[in-house]
Chains A and B, each alone.
Chain A
């Protein structure tokens, strides 16, 4: 039990409780409560390890409310990896109170099989387009109802089936078609492919499975590892020089393989070759798009902004295309989407979203970002508040 977090002890002890992270944590800003703060979370994990918390389950709310957005680590002089601790502790608690069946089933039996996954998604989207969701609404769980609201009009043809023509097997750039972009924003991803083609030759629609971030965030580390291992195996076979993802949540997580799976020698090499789309385009010296007169603000997805400090590439690309960038306050602050977080903690997520929307409104600019979760969540906020702000993926804007 407590022993199974013991390997974290030294790392957890490196938090000296200075508290500098608190005002940067969106959940602390929203609640003002130390229980819902990075320092509180780290100290609770420490208390679990030291046995000073009577029951580790007491830490559940604290841990589950963590967005895993890494804002705390980004400002921490000791780089205390709060998100890692939270995920590990969630794993521990998950052993005591298992994950919802549906989640576990999804993580372990569907995500590893992209074809099966796509069939299910298609069936669900079709049902929704036929108005079934509307009919069934009263019978849907709260979570599903909210999920339904996030996706007003799901596409029925996905990237993988539309992009075969662009894709050129085993070219230099292996395109990582992340689940979210593939199923929900295929048009944007098509634009990503065409940008990549302009920047470095035609990319290759690589065969892979989910990056593993969703089960990782839920604390199902085993499921996450299975997915990662599968991807690493596929990587070993083909060894693409670059792996580019246009969903920054995925590129951020793929870049973490080396750190999260230190026991796997392939992981480090793999992560080294992963590039976020914006990073790749900028390194390739890409100049394109016609954004003269556009007034844009960029929302940094957490995994690549807070996680890797890659703030300038998307901005440089937009600027080179002629756009005026108006920085919003807290551009790197999580929007509250955080994968399924917005479904699990609707109230808190909403408060965080409202703050984000206020910052966006203040810029009087249109919003650009690069991750499914942010596109869904901010998009939901814009629709709900009936704002006249436009929201788009970086590729859509650059490809015009």
Chain B
């Protein structure tokens, strides 16, 4: 089945082919029909042939290939292990496949700094193997780690069981050498002040360019791992158990659930020792010190027993533990024993809604009369319903796709996301429209266009084609010289719409603890002062941007929860000025753009790779991209010590930042005084702060 052609098929002339050959060498350019055929698929269903496949061996070659593609307006797609589960690496508009298999060197491992530098074609497991003798590990561990590459992990912001405790790929990428769609190569790193490009580019599925080198955080291996395998006579009991375990605030390093169909398929190959007769199992791992492990495992056991666990085993030898994990990681390919194809869905829900999600997904399977196996990264609310079918039956295939969509709709309705870790590709373009508002999708579209005006970087993926949403009418006028402190997102939207209409510069600030703006219209978040929702069981809080951090902490403390942010002033202000480390704490945001459009990023879920992670850009943006009104934060059962060196981080505007700003604020109305200061004799950051 060919995917619809999003662009007209690219033209690859003999001359371009010769150029490609001169870049990478004749033997590294494939155009024969059988080669194009085997590069027409990934691990998902659809197929689409590229025009040529090239195998670069270094970053310079990648940049040259991309420059050539840019000059000739030819689509290009970087491809790693070809294990993508949503059609993300197939050439629906033809063009060049940049196959990264020759760029597979681990360039440096620095255990002192806790970093390593790799090429994108390094297989995830190969890095793990190189780190193991040094007693280090790289946290993201997708089930496909035997075959998937780190470049692919970056493009899809991949997760894995361990991400429950340690976070997804985005939380571990420290910097990247990146080739933008015009062929320019530069280094982006999280240490750079200003918009967090690194965080923004991770998960962009090749639509904004290609990573050619990746600096990753590596961690010392935990010394004590305690594993438990527990079985239940109903999946619902098991999942209720998960909800309750999460709600205690204990953070296992893995909390996986599997149903009977999966267990049996896995056991048939691995003989890992999963109880084949159980309806569901949980695989739980703790990795704190021995004492804490024992204490927490006791709590977990109690919860499992209360939820009718039929067995709870903790005496697990290392060799069996390896087998259990091999079985868990092999669960998806093992299902192929039952039928030729497996549609792996990948939704995420707040952990407090897991049981509800499970019931509704099971209903859909029953209604459509499909065989659905359920594998959950249950601890972080990431669901993988797997529908077993045979694509040679067109009728069934249609039914399967429909059911998959309905399952994603359930996740959206429960406040979750359409992809926890696999990405959007082409399979979930439609679902993007349920998750994001038209304004948000329009912003994504323009972000894509500003980096890739020709639309050649993995075209037709991740971001659906949407038109500009209708603008709303403007009523009334500004009051004379007052500080506007809107009480709601909608009110902020009205004021900004008016400013945009009158082309008035707007000074955006929080409580004014860091900077007093110089613009004539002043918009403060002081009026936005509420905790909208504290989902205690899910460990998330939705808070208005103007809420003082101290007040938020005071609100959470009696409830036994904490946020890991520090500093003075409002939560929004702290994030906007990057006054506190927050990279791993922000799950979502509502932002009003200079045009008054309201955009929403993220959700109340731990894992979410749908769309661009644009919230990353807002952190440290000093109000130059938009007015943050609502923030979704992680909460924790334990407080953490305040880190050193807190305080606002100022930055200089460069071309890339200005490009991004033009997308968010085309008229340049928000906090222009900050940018005006960026002259050759620019006031230094320190002086600017003194001004404020």
- Chain A residues in contact with chain B, CB under 8 A? 10, 13-24, 32-35, 37, 39-40, 43-44, 47, 52-54, 58-59, 61-62, 75-79
Contacts and interface: CB of A to CB of B under 8 A. Distances in A.
B500 interface: no
Given A13-B340, A78-B336, A18 B38 contact: no
A76 B265 CA distance: 13
Contacts of B43: 16-19
A43 B333 contact: no
A77 B39 CA distance: 23
B55 A13 contact: no
A109 to B, nearest CB: 34
A37 B104 CA distance: 17
Interface stretch (B29-37, B192-200, B563-571): B29-37
A77 B265 CA distance: 9
A55 to B, nearest CB: 8
Contacts of A22: 81-82, 147
23 contacts: A13-B392, A14-B337, A16-B333, A16-B340, A16-B342, A17-B82, A18-B333, A19-B81, A20-B83, A20-B144, A23-B126, A33-B35, A34-B39, A34-B99, A43-B37, A44-B34, A53-B34, A53-B37, A59-B34, A77-B266, A77-B269, A79-B269, A79-B337
- Residue in A10, A34, A79 whose Cβ sees the most chain B Cβ within 10 Å: A34
Contact of B341 (A16, A61, A76, A77): A16
B127 interface: no
B333 A62 contact: no
A24 B342 CA distance: 22
Contact of B102 (A32, A39, A44): A32
Contacts of B334: 77-78
Contacts of A20: 83, 144, 146-147, 330, 333
Contacts of A76: 333
A22 B148 CA distance: 10
**Minimum-distance CB pairs A-B, first 6:** A32-B101, A77-B333, A40-B38, A13-B340, A16-B336, A77-B334
Contacts of A40: 38
B41 A78 contact: no
B541 interface: no
Contacts of B39: 34
B392 A58 contact: no
A35 B269 contact: no
B38 A43 contact: yes
A22 B121 CA distance: 13
B74 to A, nearest CB: 20
Nearest to A47: B37
B147 A58 contact: no
Given A32-B101, A40-B38, A43-B37, A19 B144 contact: yes
Contacts of B330: 20, 77
Interface string B14-40: 000000000000000010111101110
Nearest to A43: B38
Contact of B340 (A14, A37, A47, A59): A14
B258 to A, nearest CB: 14
Given A13-B392, A14-B340, A58-B32, A19 B147 contact: yes
Contact of B336 (A34, A53, A77): A77
B390 interface: yes
B30 to A, nearest CB: 7
A44 B81 contact: no
A17 B41 contact: yes
Given A18-B333, A19-B144, A32-B102, A58 B41 contact: no
Nearest to A18: B333
